[in-house]
Structure 1
Amino acid sequence: MPEPVKGLRERKRLETHRALATTAVRLVAERGLDQVTVEDISAATGVSSRTFFNYFASKEDAVVIAHADSAERSQRTIDKFLATPEEVSTARAFVDALKEDFAQIDENREEWLGRMKAIQENATLHSRAVAMNHDTIAPMIEAIARRAGVDPRADLYPTLLLSALGGAVNAVLILWSQHDGRVSALDLLDEAVEMLLAGLAEPGGRAR
Structure 2
Amino acid sequence: MTVEVSLRERKKLATRAALSHAAWTLMVEQGLDAATPEAIAEAADVSPRTFRNYFVSREEAILAGLVRQGTSLIDAMQARPSDEPLWDSLTQILPSFVDSFIGERDDIAVLMRVVGDNPGMRAQHLVTYERVNLQLAELIAERTGTDAERDMAPRLLASVLAAVLRTSVEIWAKGQTDRALTDLVRDGLAQVRDGLPILAPHPPLHSPAIR
Listed one character per residue, the Cα deviations across residues 30-53 of structure 1 (whole Å, up to 9, x for unaligned) are: 54x457533444556676545544
* 1:121 partnered with 2:117: yes
Larger relative contact order (CA 8 Å, sep ≥ 6): 1
Inter-CA distance 35–206: structure 2 relative to 1 (3 Å threshold): same
Match of 1:64? Answer: 63
Match of 1:171? Answer: 167
* 1:93 partnered with 2:70: no
Name the SS for the 1:65 alignment partner.
Answer: helix
Listed one character per residue, the Cα deviations across residues 86-136 of structure 1 (whole Å, up to 9, x for unaligned) are: 554323423533345422356433322222221232221121122234345
Inter-CA distance 183–42: structure 2 relative to 1 (3 Å threshold): farther
C-alpha contact (below 8 Å) 2:27/2:34 kept by paired residues: no
Inter-CA distance 100–39: structure 2 relative to 1 (3 Å threshold): same
Inter-CA distance 135–93: structure 2 relative to 1 (3 Å threshold): same
Match of 1:76? Answer: 72
In structure 2, C-alpha distance between the alignment counterparts of 1:149 and 1:184, rounded to whole Å: 34
Q: What fraction of aligned residue pairs are identical, expressed as a percent?
A: 23
* 1:207 partnered with 2:202: yes
* 1:186 partnered with 2:182: yes
Match of 2:208? Answer: none
In the comparison of the two structures, how many residue pairs are matched?
196
**Structure 1 residue 201: Cα displacement:** 0.8
Match of 1:3? Answer: none
RMSD: 3.7
* 1:17 partnered with 2:16: no
C-alpha contact (below 8 Å) 2:20/2:63 kept by paired residues: no
In the superposition, the TM-score normalised over structure 1's length comes to 0.70
C-alpha contact (below 8 Å) 1:152/1:159 kept by paired residues: yes
Listed one character per residue, the Cα deviations across residues 110-165 of structure 1 (whole Å, up to 9, x for unaligned) are: 32222222123222112112223434544532432332344556653222211111
In the superposition, the TM-score normalised over structure 2's length comes to 0.69
Rg larger in structure: 2
C-alpha contact (below 8 Å) 1:103/1:186 kept by paired residues: yes
- Consecutive unaligned residues in structure 1, runs of 5 or more: 1-6
Listed as ranges, the matches of 1:43-62 within 5 Å are: 49-50=48-49, 52-53=51-52, 55-62=54-61
